[in-house]
Chains A and B, each alone.
Chain A
Amino acid sequence: IAAVAEPLGLGRVAEPDEIAAWDIDVRPDGTGLPAGSGSVAMGEEVFVEKCAACHGDFAEGAGRWPALGGGLDTLQDERPTRTVGSFWPYLSTAYDFINRAMTVGYGEPASDDEIYAIIAYILYSNDLVDDDFVLSRENFTSIRLPNEGGFYMDDRIQTEHPLFTRPACMKNCKDDVQIIARVETAF
């Protein structure tokens, strides 16, 4: 697809230690996970210290901050609860995100073991593992989340566009119009 173009010779080759410093991403197949492990018990300690102020002691959420546990089988409810256990498709997303954005920016970065432990505790809080569970790089991809099969590729082109790509009515398009909801202007 790419047009063949001569490189301009701009930039320089990235050094291995530079790539190691910045290449932190983790994928569902486990690519990018560091060595390490953490137990539910250790996770409870770390979670209470680093996470619970916003996410609650039991990952149930505090105030307006997100719940990480609960909500199983609520996705068709009037008010669904979307958590790691009820909604997220892949556990790798939790490792990647906690590492990249949660313990950085909101305090002291956590160690690799601490992040495994936090995730073990979140799994426990979602009733997905027992209280003696230990999460590690080795067993990480054996953990499958309940909603992994709940996602599908954007299909608007097939399911919506044919309905909305039709000549638009211009005259006498309906018999009557009523206001059915309003925001009172707050002057």
Chain B
Amino acid sequence: MPDTPDKPSSRRAFLTAGAAAGGAMLTAGPARAGDPAITEMQPWRRNLGDPIDDALYGMPSPFEADVIRGRVEWLTPDAYTAINFTPLHELDGIITPNGLCFQRSHAGAAQVDPAKYRLMINGLVERPLVFTLQDLQRFPRENRTYFLECAANSGMEWRGVQMDGVQFTHGMIHNVEYTGVPLRSLLEEAGVKTAGKWLLAEGSDAAAMSRSIPLEKALDDCLVAFNMNGEALRPEQGYPVRLVVPGWEGNMWVKWLRRIEVGDKPWHHREETSKYSDLMADGRTRRFTWEMDAKSVITSPSPQAPVLHGKGPLVVSGLAWSGRGTIPQVDITLDGGINWVKARLSGPSFDKSLHRFYYEFDWDGRPLLLQSRAHDSTGYVQPTKEALRKLRGVNSNYHNNGIQTWHLQSDGRVENVEVS
């Protein structure tokens, strides 16, 4: 085991590592002594490693100890009705590891006994039903990869720049392969009456989260999921069963799902009136703003992922997504939006899922204003924050999908900025 993980990309190590970086490469001159990482035998070469029964549920390398969910204590009054943030600056590809998926709960993370788990379907149905977890696992299953984005993701940035890092400006999101049963299959089992137009989905935790969902969406692509990334849901993600509502705001993805009621009208509950409604500048409020519009962000470089290697080849990495389809194109600018080039998408392009993009270029060390701009499969192009504010004002709290700007400075540090 290493003594002290000392990862050069951590913020603490930035100043010392940054100073050494520039001179380390391509130095001409007399022959130097060999690199001790090569010329000296390292302990992991000399000694046996850990036995295979040492960690029966494995954890990341201790050198990755900084790659954890982030908390901002002043955001919420307590740690139960609260949020934390996915460390997007440290991740790559499109799948979020289960232990790093951001958490949002309204009454803590419930620990539900799967033997006592029940799902009820009642209301305007031919047969009100109760399912056990085992019952649910006997229906035909589907595997789908979707992003879940909190409606409040980037909400702290409506009035200007505030958070110091992509984890905090954009980290209320995760992207997971779900295994579950189409909600449609369960509704068919109960038999929806013709008057049924809406569903109420309700959780079994102390908050008993409830949201109204139109029947069309429920019959289209909603899943009642019990696995994420191949294993059972994590408790903080709704173990043993959560609702998956592809493309729609995360609040509707009810965790610890206990009940689906079919009704003829929406319920207008607290999470769709007082919360998750969008106050406009004219004092009126949009309700039922379900879809998450096309959005993107550069995850590296970013304030928590400064450029430590000096000038030369630089990889820009980022994420793009849309609640209305796929992402066929992402544009990158280095000059704050004067000129744009197309980024390179790499990896799968699933509907309503994260997409990974890259842009590689030769950095000459000059300050840059980095932005990304997503296009989705409907033709929608991600707007600037200013364009959104013109339409909505600054008090709508939710659904901020405006373009993010990072200021890459000559010394490699990166700032969260807003540009004219």
Contact = CB atoms under 8 A, between A and B. Distances in A.
Contact of A179 (B122, B131, B265, B419): B419
Contacts of B163: 183
B381 A165 contact: yes
Contacts of B379: 165
Given A25-B210, A165-B378, A76 B283 contact: yes
Contact of B420 (A75, A90, A104, A177): A177
16 contacts: A8-B139, A10-B135, A11-B131, A19-B122, A22-B258, A25-B202, A26-B267, A80-B283, A87-B279, A153-B286, A170-B331, A170-B341, A171-B340, A180-B417, A183-B161, A186-B164
B419 A1 contact: no
Interface range for B: 35 or more
A2 interface: yes
B130 A18 contact: yes
B274 A87 contact: yes
B415 A181 contact: no
A153 B337 contact: no
Interface stretch (A41-49, A91-99, A127-135): A91-99
Nearest to B282: A76
Interface of B: 11, 14-15, 76-77, 106-107, 120-123, 127-131, 135, 138-139, 160-164, 184-185, 187-192, 200, 202, 205-210, 215-216, 219, 258-259, 261, 263, 265, 267-270, 273-274, 277, 279, 281-291, 293, 303, 331, 335-341, 369, 373, 375, 378-383, 387, 391, 395, 407, 413-420
Nearest to A84: B274
Given A2-B187, A165-B380, A182-B161, A10 B418 contact: no
Contacts of B164: 183, 185-186
Contact of A25 (B269, B335, B375): B269
Nearest to A155: B286
Interface in A9-46: 10-14, 18-19, 22-29
Interface residues of A, number: 76
Contacts of B14: 187
Interface string A67-105: 000000001100010101001111011001100110011
A184 interface: yes
A100 B269 CA distance: 11
B340 A169 contact: yes
A4 B83 CA distance: 41
Given A11-B189, A105-B206, A182-B161, 15 more contacts: A1-B216, A11-B131, A14-B129, A18-B120, A19-B120, A19-B128, A22-B120, A75-B283, A89-B268, A152-B286, A165-B380, A170-B341, A174-B338, A183-B162, A185-B413
Contacts of A186: 164
B285 A150 contact: yes
Contact of A100 (B208, B293, B380): B208
